[in-house]
Structure 1
Amino acid sequence: MEVKDKIVIVTGAGSGIGAATAKHFAKYNATVIVSDIKKQKAQTVVEEITKEGGSAVAIEANVANFEDVEQLIAKTVDQFGRLDVIVNNAGIGPRNMAKTGEYTLEDWDSVIAVNQTGVFYCMKLALQQMMKQGGGNIVNIASLAGLKASLNNLSYSASKFAVVGMTKSAALEYATKNIRINAVCPGYTESALLEKLLSVRPDMDQMLKSVIPMKRYGQADEIAEAVVWLASDTTKFITGQTITLDGGTSL
């Protein structure tokens, strides 16, 4: 992976896919800004990276807060002089799974604020910095739920469809500016979101696996590998794409 010495921000990097992605970038000798709404979780990931000889710092940020994102980008540039890659991974699911007519306003507002508006904030400010420095790379974490219908999950599905659309629109806008923008769409992956779902509905475990041709969930490391690949100089002619990692579920 050609990401050596790149300055990389990963949001929501305190656990799950975000943590795995931060560790993978560090493994390939990038400098990683581990960002999370919970500073201690981010710091724990930093300690794991530095223990293995990698380079990382923790910056607390709530991506749903524009001022937090401004500070995240500013602190990164102040310390390292540039921003080569941002991985917009921070995301949440609804507290309650419900049909559209019964969906709560709280679940709509909170999920859209993080998963959609948060990605917009990060893209907007990262793009401004990347234009100043003459290039960069953005990888957004969407979802299979951003490509196919997802029952009783309106805000999450809407936000991830939006991420796919924002990825494609921005990629077209900045294709001549040495800025590439792509997305990955994980299927059912072992993560905090999946654990939360199965804790409420343990019976869904076998049902979910039954619709995955590979008959297993994805691993965070498998998603991270794809993210680092898209962010690397190996993929210089790829932009505006959504890479689906779902064990064949979309088939």
Structure 2
Amino acid sequence: MVNISEAAYISGNILSGKVAMVTGASRGIGAAAARLFAEQGASVMLVARTESELRKVTEDITTAGGNADYVAADLSSANGIEQAVQATIERFGRLDAAFNNAGIAVHMSSLLDETEEAFDQVQAVNYKGIWLAMKAQIKAMLETAGSGAIVNTSSVGSLKGNAGLGSYAASKRGVNSLTQTAAIEYGPAGIRINAIAPGTTLTEMIQQWVAVDPDIIEKISAMTPLRRAAEPMEIAQAAAWLLSDNASFITGVILPVDGGLTA
């Protein structure tokens, strides 16, 4: 049984005392989440491939008074993710929360035009990488904290067909299934597992699509009730809430954070 303190519902620091791991933490949504989690009281381990970018974000957090460290790792590799989880435990003593945000985009192309190499790469990082991460994180939570919460990054593209982004959308739909299955399997052990499905967000990933279609942000915004794209911090806020005790009775949810695009 998870012990939910009354203070968790009234404190501004909704992640106070928790040890959180953030993958894909060197830029975009992941970097915003790492900063936010630290501001909300968590000790944060940042994980990504690029050490120089990780170091910069970590230094920003510690300079602001937060508690953070980083480890560079290949998140499509079982050894890489296991080493990152072990580094978290060695540094902070346990693992309470994980935000699996690492992912890659593909260039827009039809099913016939996409290469097998591109298909395999996006599945290895976006789909298999989440599977590997949850395996290592759930094991660590059970062995250290005894309970925990995980949030995986999916996409609104996982909720329907997407012309030109077939393999990307399929990888994210796979994340949805993994998330809900793991929530069922490990809910009895006190581990909550959810996913967020961001809509258009102003990150480097969307800029790759802008290079192909310069008007894509405006086109999608026109179909979005809030008529704009999200800032990375707005997506991070949703992840922080789902990882906090304020979401103590929520598991197995794929939460659109999309300005109403899927309404």
In structure 2, the residue matched to 1:244 is 256
2:139 is matched with 128
- Residue 204 of structure 2 is matched in structure 1 by 192
How far, CA to CA, are the matches of 1:210 and 1:197 in structure 2?
17
Within a 5 Å distance, the mapping from 1:87-236 to structure 2 comes to 87-94=99-106, 96-133=107-144, 134-236=146-248
Report the 3-state secondary structure (helix = DSSP H, G, I; strand = E; otherwise coil) of the residue aligned with 1:100: coil
Q: C-alpha distance in 1, partners of 2:258/2:14?
A: 25
The secondary structure found in structure 1 opposite 2:17 is coil
Report how far residue 112 of structure 1 moved.
Answer: 0.5
2:21 maps to what in 1?
A: 9
State the one-letter code of the partner of 1:109: D
Report % sequence identity.
38
Stretches of 4+ aligned residues off by more than 3 angstroms: none
Kept in 1: contact 2:200–2:217 (CA 8 A): no
- What's the CA shift for 1:203? 2.8
TM-score, normalised via structure 2 length: 0.93
| Matching residue's letter, 1:174 | Y
Shift of 1:97: 1.3
Q: Secondary structure at the match of 2:133?
A: helix
Give unpaired runs (5+ residues) of structure 2. 1-12
Aligned-residue CA RMSD in angstroms?
A: 1.0
TM-aligned CA deviation for residue 58 of structure 1:
1.1
Q: CA shift at 1:79, angstroms?
A: 1.8
Deviation at 1:132? Answer: 1.6
- The equivalences for 1:13-52 within 5 A come to 13-52=25-64
Structure 2: which amino acid aligns with 1:102? Answer: D
Counterparts of 2:18 and 2:88, CA distance in 1: 12
- The answer to whether structure 1 residue 58 and structure 2 residue 70 are counterparts is yes
Once the two structures are TM-superposed, the CA of residue 200 in structure 1 deviates from its matched residue by 2.6
TM-score normalized by the length of structure 1: 0.97
Query: Does the 8 Å CA contact 2:217/2:229 hold for their aligned counterparts?
Result: no
Question: Within 1, Cα distance between the matches of 2:216 and 2:161?
Answer: 17
Q: Which residue of 1 aligns with 2:8?
A: none
Contact 2:39–2:66 under 8 Å retained in 1: yes
Aligned length: 250
SS at match of 1:174: helix
Report the Cα distance in structure 2 between the residues aligned to 1:32 and 1:75, rounded to whole angstroms: 12
Mapped to 2, the partners of 1:131 and 1:55 lie a distance apart of: 23
